[in-house]
A and B are shown apart, each in its own frame.
Chain A
Amino acid sequence: MSSLEIKNLHVSIGAKEIIKGLTLTIGAGEVHALMGPNGTGKSTLSKAIAGHPDYTVTQGDVLLDGKSILKMEPDERARAGIFLAFQYPSEIPGVSIANFIRSAVQAKLGEGEELDASGYYKRLYEKMDLLKIDRKFTSRAVNDGFSGGEKKRCEILQMAMLAPKFALMDETDSGLDIDALRIVSEGVNQLRGPGLGILLITHYQRLLDYIVPDKVHVMWDGRIVREGDKSLALELEAKGYDWVKKEFATA
């Protein structure tokens, strides 16, 4: 069984420590929601796990299936099964979606293995149908001039094509209207299964109406301060983040 274990993780940007000892384990197929006010380190956690060079892990470890990934390059981590769905995906004019995803799928194959082009397109179109994405989309440049909803659906499409073991979904609901939120959530729910563990990072409870988490973690000032089931998210929604701040600011 797969697992993603985050153990007493400390992460800094420059000299500033953002994550201050965070421990969290996601089992195979589990969906964990990570909630908390802005600036508490949620995005930092996802970028650090994915290997962004601006984030330095100063202490602790991240284990994928029992093996540390911290010495791996970002592309190696991705090929090992980590996927980061970006809050703000980069726009890459001049690279088509089809070419981009094909390069990523090709990279996952072993040395000397050739991608079967017709099989690739068949799979791509299947996933696009699943996410209600027009086929013309594949010739557009990656995220270039996309609406918020298109960008997020494009992230989910990549996730579907790369079939990671664990997905870190950073504020996937931000920038989405209610219709787009529903489509994206349906896409995630279709991918949900024993092979995919998800860390769902969100500020708002509304996403959790569509993607129901197995566990909810509340983050404050670089640490997890409360854990529970989906009812914790509802409690948080009712009481607001001021409740967390009041309870833990002095802790």
Chain B
Amino acid sequence: MPAPSPTLPARAIGGFTAEAFAAHLESQAGAPAWWLERKRAAYATFAALPLPARTDERWRFSTVQGIDLGSCVPATGAAPLPAVLPVKAAASLVFVNNRLVSRSAPSAELESRGVVVTTISEALRRHEPLLKAHFMAQAQRLGSEKFASLHIAFLADGAFIHIPRGVELSEPILVTHAVSGADAAIFPHTLVVADENSRAAVVDSFVSIPGTGADSRQLAVGANDLYAGHGSRLAYAAVQDWSRETLSLQLNASIARRDARIQSLNIHLGGRQSRHESLSELQAPGAYSEMLALTVASGTQEFDQRTHQMHQAPNTKSDLLYKNALLDSSRTIFSGLIVVDPDAQKTDAYQSNRNLVLSENAEANSLPGLEIQANDVRCTHGATTTRIDPEQEFYLLSRGIPRAAAHKLLVTAFFEEVLARLEDAALHDAILGLIRTKLDGAALA
């Protein structure tokens, strides 16, 4: 356990002082010893590590001075219920300020087959081995060790979802994580274990509750653990729509076992500055990971996305497509790495970052990368930055469609390639609706 460094500036700790941590631990009294020990170790790591530095390659191009804890403290207190996505769900959980405020349980039929949709605090009592095995099981590699530690240290609750062997859900499970209050920090967590030959979809929705400090600074340090067992099919979507004053750090980790298929789609709309790290491990032959993301960046927003596609077994496949639309003076950063282990022969990996730049003042940075230690693989990567196609634009204008509406159509068309891969039509429409709402509020022409 690293010792707290006396040389770190106070801003590296912010409001997450030893006293604040002690108070948090007290609230977790009654939790198993390993849980508390993990929290203590995590807090020590958090307190010992500096804030990200410009010189760290893993933070290249990122506006590191914006990665600031400010005076945020763990969010508390009641708030009005947040809006939830208009999706018909098999079950749902709503967390406000790290606490469960509303839930709808799975049907009796699903519960009788062992489907669990509950909180982490309940899982600590009733599903301890599974939680212990999967909670933050993957080592952080992409630069946010400090924030992963902060997350573990201060996490008060979250979603715990277990789909037992052979169970197939026809509707998604919807988890809403909301924050309210000025200088409020939340630590949303969603953990999903899909056992052998199961099939499920899980949606995370991240929102700031309007009118309750959402115009002040907020901090969200979230994580999720996705585990797709042998032959299972797990679809995960996260819709990030935090307030425009939020600093968001989100750590997405997935494991695909033999013949499993994981699809992870991250929609980035909100936040002042958002860092998203996605780590996908393909651990056994036949595993397939589809990594998708869509970003609408406007104003002075910054979205920083870092990915690892880790091929650890032969005959594994990964397919990454990250698309960003940039307006105004926004910035995006994409840095992706395909890592192929020496024995991961017949790996088929694809990585693509496409940027549609709608403003002279926007800036898209792209750093695709490969690290291949096997000799019989197919790995392709690429990045493109384009503008609105003038002939497509003229075609739409020539039909009487005003320029702003034409641009909106072309931006949503640019995203459709990714959205079309969603199986749930209601989720597709809900996400498209949020994207259109954001585009309506932006200057498009």
Contact = CB atoms under 8 A, between A and B. Distances in A.
A104 B400 contact: yes
A107 B397 CA distance: 10
**Main secondary structure on B side of the interface with A:** helix
A87 to B, nearest CB: 12
A94 interface: yes
Contacts of B394: 52-53, 74, 90
B392 A78 contact: no
Nearest to A164: B400
Most A CB within 10 A of own CB, among B399, B402, B406, B410: B399
B397 A74 contact: yes
Interface in B215-243: none
* Range class of the A interface residue count: 20 to 34
Contacts of B417: 93-94
B56 interface: no
B409 A78 contact: no
B390 interface: yes
Interface in A33-66: 50-53
A74 B390 CA distance: 13
A115 to B, nearest CB: 13
A158 B399 contact: yes
B352 to A, nearest CB: 15
B147 interface: no
B35 interface: no
Contact of B398 (A74, A99, A101): A74
A225 B401 CA distance: 36
A73 B414 CA distance: 24
Interface string A57-91: 00000000000000001110011000110100110
A95 interface: yes
B413 interface: yes
B400 A90 contact: no
Given A73-B403, A75-B400, A107-B405, A94 B412 contact: yes
Nearest to B400: A78
A100 interface: yes
Interface in B24-77: none
B429 to A, nearest CB: 12
B100 to A, nearest CB: 38
B414 A94 contact: yes
A92 B400 contact: no
B376 interface: no
20 contacts: A50-B398, A52-B394, A73-B397, A75-B398, A78-B399, A78-B400, A84-B398, A86-B395, A92-B392, A92-B413, A93-B413, A93-B417, A95-B412, A95-B413, A95-B416, A100-B396, A101-B399, A104-B399, A107-B405, A162-B400
Interface of B: 389-392, 394-403, 405-406, 409-410, 412-417
